[in-house]
Structure 1
Amino acid sequence: MKKLFAFALAMVMALSLTACGGSSAPTSSSSDSSAEASGASAVSQAVASSEAADGSAGASGKIAVIRQLQNSDHTVQFFAGCVAEGEALGYSVDTFSADGDDVKMQDLMEQALQKDYKIWIISHANEGYQKDLVSRAVAQGIKVVGFDCGGDHVDGVTYTSQDDKSLAKLSLDALIEKAKAKGATEPINIIEINILGMIVPFDTRHAVIEEYEKAGKLKVVDIISPKLGGDTYSDVNTAISTDLTKYPAGQVNGIWAASSAFLDGAVDAINDAGRNEMLISAVDISDTEIQRLVKVPQYICCACVDPYVIGTVDVRLAVLKTLGVETPETYALSAVAVTSDKLTASDTMKTLNKYFPNFGSTEDFNTKEIKDLRAKFAK
């Protein structure tokens, strides 16, 4: 880019000299003004040509996508949605993962404050630091969208979320219905895998379980909470194995996970114990979960929002803010229940739109302004 600016400056100087006839004295003649206007146009064309050559033509600025959660397929696809939509709208996009570490998350946000980002997409920043760091970003003129963030809201920021109550209800209803079809009666006994107090969505999903318990629909016989920063697989596998010994067949009907990322250890524990009657239901889809739904007979439902679409919508909202378009303070993306009976081994996140129209793409906030920008930067 330094070469680009040097080239542009040289062009300005050369064209100015030509327009003024080599004189250093200023003039105000119409012919000189016309020549200067022509020179400015030539510079713009030259800069555009040079930018096109180095791949940065028309770049609108930089977007930082900073996510607190541990790395997973879900994170990869969320990042992919942000990158694809950001680049389609003329931005360069940098992604950062704190891998579930709040200290690292704060450090990443602090570092981003020192750089020239026009937009932040913040995922799962927690109470205790979200408001402070996002407020500082907004004060610097950065447009911010927060996904599944904790803490108080900051004026001017849109906070998006999955419809977490629907995610919990869809996944729990599927488990209850299937258990009753197999002869169980309410309340259905389940083991819950969740880390309460970790992130807002997990608490919201657990609140639905409490509602169902009060209504007599189900009973949680145990809550398994893997240690933060520990060996999640071993924690879950050991705890589930212990519970399956404690609760013989008929005394517990299934396992529900607040996140499908917890399921590896659970599935292996069920298989090792030969407990084929156990049902599994969870939240959050990915390519891994699609294959698990196909291969594991006990896994009946994964309630979800397409993470790629979440990234897409978050970027659109932030870009609309840069254009001065009014955006909502909050927005919840609709959930769907992906069930094993609809899937084949050849299905992936890219093929789920055969069954669910909102997968892979969305019209949410695909406004005229967004469409015009996409057309402008189309390759």
Structure 2
Amino acid sequence: MTVEGTAARSATRRSGGTGKRASAARKKKAASGDPELVQLLTPEGERVEHPDYAFDPTPDELRGLYRDMLLTRRFDAEATALQRQGELGLWASLLGQEAAQIGSARALRDDDYVFPTYREHGVAWVRGVDPTNLLGMFRGVNHGGWDPNSNNFHLYTIVIGSQTLHATGYAMGVAKDGADSAVVAYFGDGASSQGDVAEAFTFAAVYNAPVVFFCQNNQWAISEPTERQSRVPIYQRAAGFGFPGVRVDGNDVLACLAVTKAALERARSGQGPMLVEAFTYRMGAHTTSDDPTKYRRDEEREAWEVKDPILRLRTLLEKEKLADKAFLDSIDEESDALAKRVRDAVRTMPNPDTTAIFEHVYADGNALVDEERAQYAAYLESFEPEEGEQS
């Protein structure tokens, strides 16, 4: 048996005692009235068991999850830096949400279909979407840049919550076609207050659609905390629509994978929709136009830093001797190469056509649009240097 195999087996044996402690902790939590949180990997990097979501990943799978999260975080950091340098118009960071996205995405089959919002950069990575296409959209030179049907990954949706209806309708079509694939709709805690989401829940339940609603509860809908969005935990809302909901530790990549996989298998087998609430935290700003210091305390962020999803998986890998220095160094080198590639790609992209927004409002043109185009062109020209001045 290999060293990795021995380590994996010993980890499984040791998790028995830890699993009992985790079970006792769950009972204590339930007795106190706190919602249960599915967890398979503690913030300290300890494996624990859950009676409903058993998952025993191979060493290769663990290393792959670590690689995905690390590369996604590096890409995200590079995109934030590019926006600060004026290369992107806006960026919505996923910092802190890597486990929720990578874990849930790795649970998908190739024939499953994804409907994202505008922050699912980790899911896009797993589905094989080139990161430069995401950056092109935020630079304003394309409307997505990828073919949704090539990756079964729909274009980003900026309108809050509308993609849940798109996903539900698509899932209804999947069921009508007799296919055994499933659909995932990603949305945030703020979007859970939108009417579109409630309507999607209703249609999904009534038509028993094979859709998994994956809510990344990152605690803040821009500047509004979750407690102002809902009087009950978000996952409990599903019961009112007639399908199950579950809350998972959104910073635990193993739990996110196991729970999403179970929800997808449930949907594929004809049992209908399910709501997964990934309880996580947005470590950065809502977008690069936001200043989170205006509405949340530094102590809150610091409390979540110790639950970092990448750090806890790295701790497990090192503790079980599943990742040596050579492996970790190779991932760091790969992340540097990825950062350089996206940086070079963005800097060689053309500047967006600032008047293109007026071109396709009406098929045959419109006098008001023509007037607005002229006004905007004059506004842009007002920034041109005067004759004789250096540009």
Give the TM-score normalised by structure 2.
0.29
* Structure with more contact order per residue of length (Cα contacts < 8 Å, sep ≥ 6): 2
Higher helix share: 2
Q: Work out which of the two has the higher radius of gyration on C-alpha atoms and give 1 or 2.
A: 1
